[in-house]
Amino acid sequence: MHLGLVTYNLAKDWDFDTCLAKCAALGYEGIEFRTTHAHGVEPTLTAAERKVLRAKAEASPVKLVGLGSTCEFHSTDPAEVQKNIQLAKDFVDLAADLGVLGVKVRPNGLPEGVPVEKTLKQIGESLKPLGDYGAKKGVMIYVECHGRGTAFPPYMATIFGTANHPNVGACWNCNPQDIVNGSIKEYFTLIRPWMRTIHIHELSKDYPWQELFELLVATKFDGYTLLEEGNGNADPERILTLNKTIWDLRLAQASSRGCCCK
């Protein structure tokens, strides 16, 4: 498996060139460009601008893993849902032009007064046309396990089951909702069939990090674990270096233990 970076929030002020240069220098193999940040990787880019960025990316050892959109599909307004589907397709077009592996979308809550099952079905159904569209472009749809209520892994499993699309995968987000009696194994196992990317957070903070690494190794996860640190920091390089060191140690320990979590 590979270590990468989400520009949210440590790299939010870095331009495109700096993002690639810093990742390469600090040992981060991939990157997810979160929308609205200084890198400027947005659907508004012209065709000429896209060619320039693609050339830079192809000259870099850093893989463009994802575009972190904020497209969401839980609204009770059908027009709003369709607007988000179209915007997500615009991000897919951008990803295809730049050579990015996937586009991240998310659920972001459960509207009050609406049956939970109805909202989960609506989100899952909204992902089907995106899965189709992304497949035609060679771009995966990553659905972040995210949002008030919707981050609950059994609800995410319902969403993925409703979508039922090979081009729609999960972005495991390392949430507190993952933990049952101190362990993430139950819900990790539930979501693992769809898991394509992982958002990790500062590895010195509370979460069963070592268990996560052991489960990833045991299930032969070969994708990207992407550091998403939500707090701004005056010294992002120090945080990135620290987390790279911890990541290497956790992976080495998990690998040395073999498949103990099967």
Q: How buried is 204 (Cβ within 10 angstroms: 0-12 exposed, 13-18 middle, 19+ buried)?
A: exposed
Instruction: Give the integer Cα–Cα distance in Å for 4 and 23.
Output: 8
The pLDDT, as a whole number, for residue 205 is 85
Our count of domains for the chain comes to: 1
Task: Encode pLDDT of 119-174 as tens digits.
Answer: 999 999 999 999 999 999 999 999 999 999 999 999 999 999 999 999 999 999 99
232: confidence class by pLDDT, cuts 50, 70, 90? low
Task: Encode pLDDT of 61-102 as tens digits.
Answer: 999 999 999 999 999 999 999 999 999 999 999 999 999 999
Q: What is the mean pLDDT of residues 191-196?
A: 98
CATH value at residue 67: 3.20.20.150
Checking if the pLDDT of 8 tops 90, the result is yes
Is the residue at 72 inside a domain? yes
262: confidence class by pLDDT, cuts 50, 70, 90? very low
**How confident is the prediction for the chain on average, in pLDDT?**
96
- Write the DSSP string, the chain: -EEEEE-TTTTTT--HHHHHHHHHHHT--EEEEETTSTT---TT--HHHHHHHHHHHHTSSSEEEEEE-------S-HHHHHHHHHHHHHHHHHHHHHT-SEEEE------TTS-HHHHHHHHHHHHHHHHHHHHHHT-EEEEE--STTTTSHHHHHHHHHHH--TTEEEEE---GGG-BTTB-HHHHHHHGGGEEEEEE--TTSSS-HHHHHHHHHHTT--SEEEE---S--S-HHHHHHHHHHHHHHHHHHHHHT-STT-
Q: What is the mean pLDDT of residues 99-114?
A: 97
Is the residue at 160 inside a domain? yes
Range of the domain at 37: 2-256
Is the residue at 261 inside a domain? no
Q: How much of the chain, in percent, has pLDDT values that exceed 70?
A: 97
Q: How much of the chain, in percent, has pLDDT values that exceed 90?
A: 94
Is the residue at 112 inside a domain? yes
Q: What is the mean pLDDT of residues 100-128?
A: 98
Is the residue at 262 inside a domain? no
234: confidence class by pLDDT, cuts 50, 70, 90? confident
The pLDDT, as a whole number, for residue 257 is 81
Checking if the pLDDT of 222 tops 80, the result is yes
Is the residue at 45 inside a domain? yes
More confident residue, 261 or 116: 116
